[in-house]
Amino acid sequence: MLSNRAENIKPSPTLAIDAKAKAMKAAGADVVNFGVGEPDFDTPEHIKEAAIKALRDGFTKYTPVGGIDPLKDAIIGKFQTDNGLSYSREEIIVSCGAKHSLYNIAQALYGPGDEVIIPAPYWVSYPDQVLLNDATPVIVKTQESDAFVLSPEALEAHITKRTKALILNSPSNPTGRTYDGKTLERIAQVVLKHGLYVISDEIYEKLVYDGVKHVSIASVSEEMKKRTLVVNGLSKSHAMTGWRLGFTAGPREIIKAMTTIQSQSTSNANSITQKAAVEALTGPQDFIGMMRGEFDKRRKFLVSELNSIPDVSCITPTGAFYAFPNISGLFGKVNGKPVFCSSDLALYLLEDAGVALVPGDAFGDDRHMRLSYATSMENIRKGVERIREAIGNLK
């Protein structure tokens, strides 16, 4: 009865775990939730005020499909200031969240027979969005010893005549690692040699630590800019996940196709959100520094605690708000039920210790699990102690 397309994909696993943890909580259980993929901070007040003003002013009608000009101009300004990239309005489209931006790109670029290279561990929606467009995801494993960064050699080894694009995500969800400029230059050489596109998901751009500077692969060269679709948004940088606003910058013919596709699906992003987004991008930015400072404290604490648990090791994340410890040292251990994989461990920790996190399996890496530190220090403290105890009970 259902289409092949519908049969081939699965619900977002991160949202599924989050739902289970919330259901347990609603039923009265005391659950520490490391599963969430959104900032625990509230949207800054001045952004809310801009939305309230938009409502009061009656800015509640359809807008141009690809976004209002003041927002496109604010986005152009952001790319210029943050990334040294110059775009015109025809090279920008505003969508209903960065996930929607990525989906529009998939619709505009991928088709039957196309291969899209996705480094693993990957964000959960990349492979399924490729599948939804009848193309083939080609998963390329990265090494923990390389800090989960795709090597240009591994990339080249997986390119075929059918390869259309490479999806990059720096800072990365789930690994929390970042690509440096030198590596991006070497990847760009391979990409240009084979005439691929790069979809660069930079949604965690503002969340970098230890003096890391975010680099967009589009800024590596003018040629590379022509082959790159840069995706970004406000969900993570301005704590605006529920507002649904993402944007893409790239070659005008692709942006035009994405706009046409969007005109036949969702039409414009929410009008009120667009006004709020102008304020988010052009108003005071001090909120971001405050949030990053808090995340940084939690990051240091969580990673050092995880590393003090026997048979668990965690490389230091340099971006986003996730720790991605290696838990494969626990495989084969038992407490009532045996633990053979990341899902076994996640279920054990949820049911026995009241701790929700996402098994690495969901991201194409079964030897790890993902903990979000977008939760209070108090929760992190409590959650880590529960994990330590539950893992200590595995024999």
Contacting positions for ligand PLP (CB under 6 A): 37, 97-99, 123, 169, 173, 201, 203, 233, 235-236, 241, 246
CB of 353 to ligand PLP, least distance (A): 25
The residue among 174, 213, 207, 235 whose CA lies nearest residue 291 is 207
The residue among 224, 139, 183, 188 whose CA lies nearest residue 318 is 183
Would you say 99 or 227 has its CB closer to ligand PLP?
A: 99
d(CA 365, CA 146): 15
DSSP letter (8 states) at residue 239: T
For ligand PLP, the nearest residue by Cβ is: 97
CB of 310 to ligand PLP, least distance (A): 30
CB of 222 to ligand PLP, least distance (A): 26
CB of 372 to ligand PLP, least distance (A): 10
Counts of helices then strands in the chain (DSSP H, E): 14, 14
CB of 2 to ligand PLP, least distance (A): 25
Measured CA angle at 117 (ends 257, 198), to 5 deg: 45
Distances from the Cα of 83 to the Cα of 26, 89, 105, 212, 277, angstroms: 43, 17, 21, 14, 19
CB of 242 to ligand PLP, least distance (A): 9
Measured CA angle at 131 (ends 130, 133), to 5 deg: 70
Residue whose pair of structure tokens reads 């108003």 in the numeric block: 283
Would you say 37 or 359 has its CB closer to ligand PLP?
A: 37
CB of 112 to ligand PLP, least distance (A): 25
Would you say 232 or 328 has its CB closer to ligand PLP?
A: 232
Q: How many residues make up the chain in this entry?
A: 395
Would you say 99 or 299 has its CB closer to ligand PLP?
A: 99
DSSP H/E element including 272 = helix 271-282
Spatial contact of 330 and 359, defined as CB atoms under 8 Å apart: no
Would you say 173 or 318 has its CB closer to ligand PLP?
A: 173
